[in-house]
């Protein structure tokens, strides 16, 4: 689950502050999807800045878009509105026009863009497609939920080599192996205590037994804390998202009344 807010978009200068590299993509589904130190952005097409295009293709009902017109118009409005949040300052505007990015057409001037942004403020969530009711989306989270909701192994595969794919598994695997190894060592010490007890060295017997018990309990406690922490984060995201959705639904119902 992600933050149910269309304004959850960092402007371009904040992307630099966070150390993210802006990757240009022509796939709309990857727009504002981020992964570690990268974020994908689809440039603003020139035709979306043309009133003639909107009037001819997205407003005129005589054009043969049929039932797709509303979906295309919602996606176009959402993509256009996203740049209201990406470019909030003139510094963002300068970044967007850099040669290696060119997120907006080069002939667009700052004053013209300001007039456009003032009009975009009137676009509501009800006017855009469901994707643009959200802001930035985390790719790792999309890949996690893809098998459940999209019936795909992943939303987008970013690892070109098998070594890159398995490298991200080293941490969890090593943690599990270390925990299991610690538990087994503690059990071995516990079993070896019987031999110490038979030698009538009761002082060593109590030390070894206490140390092994503390090791076993400590390892189990730390593992349990990690599991509870992960579960708490997981449930907190779902609860927060459900609350936001309910609030949005109540607001929309109140406006309809």
pLDDT in tens, 107-122: 999 999 999 888 888 8
Identify the weakest region by mean pLDDT among 99-108, 153-162, 171-180, 241-250.
Answer: 241-250
Helix runs in 132-201, H state only: 139-145, 162-167, 170-198
State the chain's maximal CA–CA distance in angstroms. 98
Handedness of CA 98, 102, 106, 108 (dihedral sign): negative
Confidence category of residue 198, pLDDT binned at 50, 70, 90: low
Q: What is the pLDDT of residue 97?
A: 96
Handedness of CA 203, 204, 207, 212 (dihedral sign): negative
Average pLDDT score over residue span 201-207:
66
Q: Is the pLDDT of residue 24 over 70?
A: yes
Q: What is the pLDDT of residue 216?
A: 78
The residue ranking higher by pLDDT, 94 or 252, is: 94
Residue whose entry in the numeric block shows the structure tokens 């005129």: 60
Helix runs in the chain, H state only: 12-17, 51-53, 68-86, 90-96, 110-120, 139-145, 162-167, 170-198, 202-256
Pairing relation of β-strands 33-35 and 137-138? parallel
CA atoms of 131 and 145, how far apart (whole Å): 15
CB 35 within 8 A of CB 114: no
Confidence category of residue 204, pLDDT binned at 50, 70, 90: low
CB 80 within 8 A of CB 97: no
Confidence category of residue 165, pLDDT binned at 50, 70, 90: low
Q: Is the pLDDT of residue 210 over 80?
A: no
Give the domain ranges of the chain: 12-158, 169-256
Confidence category of residue 196, pLDDT binned at 50, 70, 90: low
Q: What is the pLDDT of residue 18?
A: 95
Q: How far is CA 55 from CA 12, 51, 63, 145, 148, in A?
A: 30, 6, 10, 38, 39
């Amino acid at each position: 689950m992600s933050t149910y807010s269309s304004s959850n978009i960092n402007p371009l200068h904040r992307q630099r502050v966070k150390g993210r590299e802006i990757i240009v993509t022509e796939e709309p589904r990857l727009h504002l999807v981020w992964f570690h130190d990268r974020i994908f952005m689809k440039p603003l097409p020139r035709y979306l800045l043309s009133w003639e295009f909107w009037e001819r293709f997205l407003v005129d009902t005589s054009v043969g878009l049929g039932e797709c017109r509303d979906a295309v118009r919602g996606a176009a409005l959402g993509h256009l509105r996203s740049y209201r949040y990406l470019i909030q300052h003139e510094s963002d505007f300068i970044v967007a026009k850099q040669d290696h990015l060119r997120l907006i057409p080069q002939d667009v001037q700052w004053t013209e863009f300001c007039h456009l942004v003032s009009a975009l403020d009137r676009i509501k969530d009800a006017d855009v497609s469901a994707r643009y009711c959200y802001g930035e989306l985390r790719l790792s989270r999309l890949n996690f939920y893809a098998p459940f909701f999209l019936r795909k192994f992943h939303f987008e595969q970013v690892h070109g080599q098998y070594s890159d794919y398995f490298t991200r598994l080293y941490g969890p695997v090593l943690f599990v192996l270390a925990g299991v190894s610690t538990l087994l060592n503690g059990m071995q010490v516990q079993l070896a205590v019987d031999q110490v007890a038979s030698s009538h060295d009761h002082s060593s017997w109590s030390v070894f037994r206490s140390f092994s018990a503390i090791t076993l309990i400590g390892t189990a406690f730390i593992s349990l804390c990690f599991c509870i922490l992960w579960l708490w984060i997981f449930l907190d995201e779902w609860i927060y998202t459900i609350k936001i959705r309910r609030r949005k639904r109540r607001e929309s119902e109140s406006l309809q009344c």
